Amino acid sequence: MWKFKTPGIPDEEFERIEKVPITKEEIRVVQISKARLKPGQIIYDIGCGSGSISIEAALQIESSGKVLAIDYDENAIELTKKNMKKFDVTNISLIHGNAKEAILKLEEADTIFIGGTGGDTKEIVELSENKLKSGGRIVVGIILIETLYSVLQALNRLQFESVDITQVTISKSRKTSTGTMMLARNPVTIISATKI
């Protein structure tokens, strides 16, 4: 389905349902870039939602790698399953459940993406530190300032290095009856870091 090596599958290509979030295309591209993925890696996608990060990561790590996609919402798991089928991706394992419990049972990861967590982001970052291989990357997508602050504190306390904070503000074009206008989307802050 996606015939390109570069990330950035257009949002409209994904199956969508109301109330299940999607990491928007441009944000996804930055997150994938910050993860520094390569074939054969093991990836967690915590709070996988529609599966857009899982799909993009799975394509980057190729069939020799594996994505473990976690979500507590059954609708998100089913939607990710549909998108796996649509994009013919088979190297994703779906885990339905609470991320704080599921992480403890998983093998070590090379990269951990943390998205929608229902307010448990800081705790999930702390748990992820124990599951991340040395030199592994963590990439956290954040909307709330309070979450940004708590994640930065946790990464500092856990002595992650190469901490990068990137805030992305996107405007997308929309046709109107008289021309084209730009509509702003909510800014997203992306924190990425490396485990020593």
How many structural domains comprise the chain? 1
Residue 116, in any domain of the structure: yes
pLDDT, tens digit, for every residue of 60-84? 999 999 999 999 999 999 999 999 9
Residue 3, in any domain of the structure: no
Domain that residue 175 falls in? 11-194
Question: Any idea what the CATH number is for the domain that residue 110 is in?
Answer: 3.40.50.150
Residue 28: name the closest of 59, 49, 5, 52 by CA: 52
Rounded Cα distance between 132 and 121, Å, is: 16
Q: Is the pTM of this model over 0.85?
A: yes
Q: Give the per-residue pLDDT at 50.
A: 95
pLDDT band at 4 (very low <50, low <70, confident <90, very high): confident
pLDDT, tens digit, for every residue of 151-165? 999 999 999 999 999
pLDDT, tens digit, for every residue of 105-150? 999 999 999 997 667 899 999 999 999 999 999 999 999 999 999 9
Residue 1, in any domain of the structure: no
Q: Can you give the length of the chain in residues?
A: 196
Residue 110, in any domain of the structure: yes
